[in-house]
Amino acid sequence: MQRIGVFVCHCGSNIAATVDVKRVAEMALMEPGVVHAEDYQYMCSEAGQALIAKAIEEKQLTGLVICSCSPRMHEATFRKAAERAGLNPYMVEIANIREHCSWIHKDMEEATKKAVILMRAAVAKVNLNTPLQPGESLVTKRALVIGGGIAGIQTALDIADAGYEVDIVEKEPSIGGRMSQLDKTFPTLDCSACILTPKMVEAAAHEKINIYTYSEVEKVSGFVGDFTVDIRKKARSVDMDKCTGCGVCQEKCPSKKAPSEFNRGLNNRSAIYTPFAQAIPNVPVIDREHCIKFKTGKCGVCSKVCQAGAIDYDQKDEIVTEKYGAIVVATGFDIIKLDNYDEYAYSQSKDVITSLELERIMNAAGPTSGHLERLSDGKAPKEIVFIQCVGSRCSDDRGKSYCSKICCMYTAKHAMLIRDKYPDVNVTVFYIDVRTPGKNFDEFYRRAVEQYGVNYIKGQVGKVIPQPDGKLLVQGSDLLDNKQILKEADMVVLAAAIEPNPDVRKIATMLTASIDTNNFLTEAHAKLRPVESPTAGIFLSGVCQGPKDIPETVAQAGAAAVKAIGLLAKDKLMTNPCTAKPDETLCNGCSTCANVCPYGAITYEDKEIFDHGIRETRRVAQVNSALCQGCGACTVACPSGAMDLQGFSNRQIIAEVDAICR
């Protein structure tokens, strides 16, 4: 029989105002196994924890029930307190009488009754708890960063600077990500390349960093501290070691019709290419879809002109298998496809562009060498209209429900840069709200309006109609003046919503990291653990977790790095002991459990079993407790009930059911 102590927390008035805590404690004393019950103002406080420790010692308690807030909040706190007082931490159960009771019920009598029942269920469960011992597993002191944008680069640099090996996997031929495509950055207007390129170079040169470009994560197995990852190095068709990066192959390549991904398809590149001049590594890849040699077997110009003999048409994809202790996801974003926004004539007119395309147009290395011109006729625009929130803050399923966060600021930046360089160009911005929370952000926006005379109109644009003369007729409304606006523009720029990289869902599945309905990775706690995934050992860096600008991304990248370093600094990890455990005498060896295990944690072994006087060799299930995450799928699949989950055993859950239905 257990000796159980029940501790009822007032949580100030959060619980005590609606639940008669004294009565809950009194009722607890009538439950089987309960030898001690008391209430206190704040159980989680030092004084509260001291009460618990004292009772454990004086009453020789073997189990605790804390009636308090959600176990998601303080289970760990109370487990630690129990452990300090010499009790096995897994002998603690929480009755959630705050979130599930006092906060949702008003009637004291009713709430108290419910609190008593929740307490009884927890007592019934603790009666069946057994001390559990966490296992230990070793930590591989190496981190993987998925994504080589600014988030990934920063995370990798921070981890590497702390002295740990880091691999970056980037699916494009070069690291750099979205930031490398930007021209200037807000709110300081410094050039993006000028601040990013040194970081790229630093990462490439860092002795602790190894970069896999043109590579993708193929398979992930294992668990925190001990992940095994297969990385597919796509065939580059160019020998990384031999190539000198001279660029002659790209110059001579006769196939120059491939749309440049880096320039958002605004111009073309050769079939053998580096995405941009400052690419790292400065080694081209052959785009086999566009390469004449691969399409027809004839050509081979690049091979002929390559002095270094680096071209290798026979190169094949290569799978590299590496072990990691921590994985940081930094897969970033793209802008949404505008198929659902036909009214803005994006597909009909070359002069309706996205803001990211405008970045490329404004960039000296871009398709127009930095001249602001219409893509349809090369003329200088005189009238530019920006449309905000294209697909952001959308209430229907055409777009995204969230605010993309960066558009207000980059639009102010674009408007300002245009007005600065081309004072004769009129700039109009249609907006729903201008959101500028951030250091020096509002000042920046006000400068655009006050100093640069950008015309901000609160209202939405209903339609953009291409005119026969090449102009664009913008039909919008001005909500403040309550009037319809018709405006002729030479160029329309859409602030398209951002969305997580489409590959992230696949990656999240491999990592068993959770993802929300918008495909952003879920953090372990929205406020308190914003850079960790709920899956242990997986950390989140940058926009894959939610929309962010560059300073926020860099800050979060650093935070993710710190969390990863904290993990890598440990030699051993304690594993969650709430894992599945088979009763070998009941096991049929039928493999049903192994079929539903998502972690491959169940194997079978022929084992000598002594059961009811019979000694025989049987095929029985074995659980690798380091792999098992404790979901319990196997326990229900098992027809004989041989497989049980420690901490959530069949008898424990049934005891809770019984207590509730009593």
Partner 1 sequence: MQELINRAKELLADGTVARVLGWKAGDLPYNPEPAYFETEESLKDFVYNGFCGANLSKYMIEASKLEGKTMVCLKPCDTYSFNQLIKEHRVDRDKAYIVGVGCKGKLDIEKIKKQGIKGIQSIQGAEITDDAETLTIQTIYGEKTCAYKDGMLERCHVCKGKEHQIYDEIIGESKDTKDADRFDEVRRIEAMRPEEKFAFFQSELSKCIRCNACRNVCPACSCRKCVFDSNKFDSSQKANVDSFEEKMFHIIRAFHVAGRCTDCGECSRVCPQGIPLHLFNRKFIKDIDELYGEYQAGEDTDSKGPLTNFTFDDAEPSIVTERG
Partner 2 sequence: MSIEAKEEFRPKIVAFCCNWCSYAGADLAGSSRLSYPADVKIIRVPCSCRVNPMFILRAFEKGADGVIMCGCHPGDCHYSTGNYYARRRMTLLFSMLDYIGVENGRTRVEWVSAAEGVKFSTTMNEFVEKIYSLGKNVRLEDIRCRN
Among 144, 553, 635, 642, binds partner 2 (CB under 8 A): 635
Binding partner of residue 655 among partner 2, partner 1, none, CB cut-off 5 to 8 Å per kind:
partner 1
**Cβ at position 642, least distance to partner 2 in Å:** 13
User: Which of 354, 363, 345 shows the shortest CA–CA distance to 471?
Assistant: 345
Contact present, 175 and 168 (Cβ < 8 Å): yes
- The nearer residue to partner 2, 14 or 428, going by C-beta atoms, is 14
Residues whose CB is less than 8 angstroms from the CB of residue 523 and which lie 6 or more positions away in sequence, other chains included: 529, 530, 531, 532, 533, 534, 540, 545
Cβ-based nearer residue to partner 1, 132 or 594: 594
Beta strands 215-223; 226-233: pairing state: antiparallel
Contacts of 571 (CB under 8 A, 6+ apart): 138, 139
Q: Which of 13, 60, 70, 369 binds partner 2 (CB under 8 A)?
A: 70
The rounded distance, in Å, linking the Cα atoms of 47 and 41 is 9
Judged by CB under 8 A, which stretch of 281-289, 462-470, 546-554, 632-640 contacts partner 1?
Answer: 632-640
From the list partner 2, partner 1, none, partner contacted by residue 238 (C-beta under 5 to 8 A by kind): none
3-class SS shares of the chain: helix, strand, coil, % to 5: 30, 25, 45
298: left (phi over 0), alpha (psi -120 to 50) or beta: beta
What angle in degrees, to the nearest 10, is found between the helix axes of 407-421 and 441-450? 40
Q: How far is CA 96 from CA 80, 82, 93, 117, in A?
A: 18, 18, 10, 11
The footprint of partner 2 on residues 285-314 (CB under 8 A) is: none
Site pattern 560..599 for partner 2 (x: CB under 8 A): ------------------x-----------------x-x-
Q: Three-class SS string for 136-169? A: EEECCCEEEEECCCHHHHHHHHHHHHCCCEEEEE
Are the CB atoms for 150 and 175 separated by under 8 Å? Answer: no
Q: Does 16 bind partner 2 (CB under 8 A)?
A: no
Residues of span 604-623 touching partner 1 by CB under 8 A: 604, 611, 616, 619
Q: Which residue lies nearer to partner 2 by CB, 554 or 597?
A: 597
Position 655 contacts partner 1 (CB under 8 A): yes
* Binding status of residue 535 toward partner 2 by CB under 8 A: yes
Confirm or reject binding of residue 111 to partner 2 (CB under 8 A). yes
Measured from the CB atom, the residue of 313 and 604 that comes closer to partner 1 is: 604
Q: Does 589 bind partner 1 (CB under 8 A)?
A: yes
Q: Is 639 within 8 Å of 592 (Cβ atoms)?
A: yes
Binding flag, residue 590, partner 1 (CB under 8 A): yes
For position 72 contacting partner 2 by CB under 8 A, the verdict is yes
Q: Judged by CB under 8 A, how many residues of this single chain contact partner 2?
A: 52
510 binds partner 1 (CB under 8 A): no
Which residue, 159 or 642, is less far from partner 1 as judged by CB? 642
Q: Write phi, then psi, for 609 (nearest 5 degrees).
A: -115, 135
Q: Which of 64, 101, 119, 416 binds partner 2 (CB under 8 A)?
A: 101
Nearer Cβ to partner 1, position 187 or 630? 630
Q: Using the minimum distance from each CB to partner 2, give the nearer residue, 365 or 631.
A: 631
CB 300 within 8 A of CB 291: no
Rg of the chain over Cα atoms, rounded to whole angstroms, equals 31
**Residue ranges that bind partner 2, judged by CB under 8 A:** 70-73, 96, 98-101, 103-107, 110-111, 113-114, 117-118, 121, 509, 512, 514-517, 522, 534-535, 578, 596, 598, 629-633, 635-637, 645, 648, 650, 653-654, 656-658, 660-662
